[in-house]
Structure 1
Amino acid sequence: MPDLSLAALNCTLTPSPGESSSQKLLDEVLAEFSAHASVTPHVVRLVDHDVKPGVEADMGAGDEWPEIRDRIRAADILVVATPTWLGHMSSVAQRMLERLDAEFSETDDDGRPVMFGKVAAVVADLRQSLNDIGFGIPAQGSVYWNGEAMSGVDYKDLDKTPEPVATATATPARSTVHLAGLLGAQQYPANG
């Protein structure tokens, strides 16, 4: 079983200690990761932190993003959970992507983007953005639950996990661990 580091970002709009459907689904996905790798995830609920708007790695006084960014950069795997509102990720997730934009200009000694070799799993609709930044996206590396349209039932209020969701949480964990292990053994080729 591989030993991998994992950073998890919850982009819910609900501050701690409030219940969050995104957190419930994220917890289920993280439990699946432990079945495939030795991981100790560090979960950050972004809404609890002062993440300044902008596209720089550090937006100045009071900005808590640099510490969160360091955790992401130190991890083999990034797991991001976000609710969907009107079919889109939360504004907190959008802010995270704006801040990750700073990574486009960061490269390693071989000219590769610094996020190359890292893998991201998604609990929502962020795949293309994270891939553009340089994260590898595994096959079927995401899970979500939207429920019946306009039913008013939140995921956190379900008595039990629906079977299709339970199956879908196992697949991203397995695929992400596999891809992270491959990239840990052999990095992408250098640019140039």
Structure 2
Amino acid sequence: MELNEKQIRLCEENNEDFSDLKALFINCTLKKSPQTSNTRGLMDVAKAIMEKNELEVEVVRAVDYEIAPGVWPDMTKQGLEKDDWPQIFEKVMAADILILGTPIWLGEKSSVCQRVIERLYGQSGELNEKGQYAYYGRAGGCIVTGNEDGIKHCGMGILYSLQHLGFTIPPQADAGWIGEAGPGPSYLDENSGGPENDFTQRNTTFMTWNLMHLAKMLKENDGITAHGNQRSAWDAGCSFDHPNPEYR
């Protein structure tokens, strides 16, 4: 993906070292590889910015995997024949940044995206070494594409879900592109206007840099400070300075 002049200049002027960060993009398109994904097209802008700043980046197209429905870590242990989620979860836990990308269908994020969120939810109750929920210390964002309205609606639901599960959300953590309302060209289609759209490129750029800055701050500070947010301590009876410990 070619970056525009403004995006390239920001990369060239950067003095921050992001080389120890890892980012995972999960593309929730409904199209299996090698079909063209317009969502991937916009995600590639963020990916290119990250790679120019020496982040380790991986893209997973969720529909290429057999992600079983459910909210258990491994659904084969619940009687289903196959479940590829455990290997994707390992990639999530190895990353400092998670970006979910989705097309818009009937004003909503894709069914694939919803399933990924449900599977993330299934392991959100696990704890890290400090007794906090598992996703603490990771930054989250989203990218949305389509040719019908719904970018902000989809972003609202995705980002709410990610923060509820424990991800930290920076300012301007969503970006998207839609063409004219109704049938029309998608982001990567010829003369769509998407790659040249200043609003889309600006928001995608800001989102990417904010994710990198936040992930760097979190990593340098060993995640979120562990006081008042440790499930293990809460279960052990700590009140965390609650004025009435009996009703903590």
Q: Same fold (TM over 0.5)?
A: yes
Partner of 1:23: 40
Q: Which has the larger radius of gyration?
A: 2
8 A Cα contact 1:32 1:169, kept in partner: no
Tell me if 1:188 matches 2:208: no
- Runs of 4+ aligned structure 1 residues displaced above 6 Å come to none
Query: Which residue matches 1:172?
Result: 207
Which residue does 2:187 correspond to in 1?
155
2:68 maps to 52
* 2:50 is equivalent to residue 33 of structure 1: yes
Q: Which has the higher contact order (CA 8 A, sep 6+)?
A: 1
Distance 2:120 2:66 in 1: 15
Taking the aligned partners of 2:142 and 2:205, their CA distance within structure 1 comes to 13
- CA deviations on 1:80-114 (whole Å, 9 max, x unpaired) are 11001121100000000110112221011322111
Aligned equivalent of 1:118, options 109, 127, 138? 138
What secondary structure, in the 3-state scheme, does the structure 2 residue paired with 1:15 have? coil
Q: Distance in 1 between matches of 2:183 and 2:98?
A: 31
Q: 1:70 aligns with which of 83, 90, 104?
A: 90
Q: 1:188 corresponds to which letter in structure 2?
A: I
- Supply the AA of the counterpart residue of 1:46: A
Query: Using the alignment, how far apart are the partners of 1:110 and 1:118 within structure 2?
Result: 14
TM superposition shift of 1:164:
1.5
Residue equivalent to 1:139: 171
Greater mean alpha carbon deviation, residues 170-179 or residues 159-168: 159-168
Q: Pick the aligned partner of 1:94 from 114, 124, 137.
A: 114
Q: Per-residue CA shift, 1:4-26, capped at 9, x if unaligned?
A: 11111000001111011101011
Following superposition, the deviation at residue 71 of structure 1 comes to 0.3
Give the Å deviation of 1:151.
4.1
Contact 1:58 1:66 in 2 (8 A): yes
Query: Aligned to 1:56, what secondary structure does the other structure show?
Result: coil
TM-score normalised by L of structure 1: 0.94
Ranges in structure 2 where 5+ consecutive residues have no aligned partner: 1-16, 145-154, 234-248
Aligned counterparts of 2:199 and 2:128: Cα–Cα separation in 1:
40
Q: Which runs of 5 or more residues in structure 1 are unaligned?
A: none
SS in 1 for 2:54: coil
In 1, the alpha carbon distance for the partners of 2:56 and 2:131 equals: 30
1:141-166 deviations in whole A, cap 9, x for unaligned? 11111221114221121445112111
Percent same amino acid among aligned pairs? 35
Answering whether residue 10 of structure 2 is matched by residue 10 of structure 1, we say no
Residues 1:80 and 2:100 are matched in the alignment: yes
**Contact in 1 for aligned 2:50/2:57 (Cα 8 Å):** no
Question: 1:127 pairs with 151, 159, 164, which one?
Answer: 159
Deviating more after overlay: 39-48 vs 156-165:
156-165
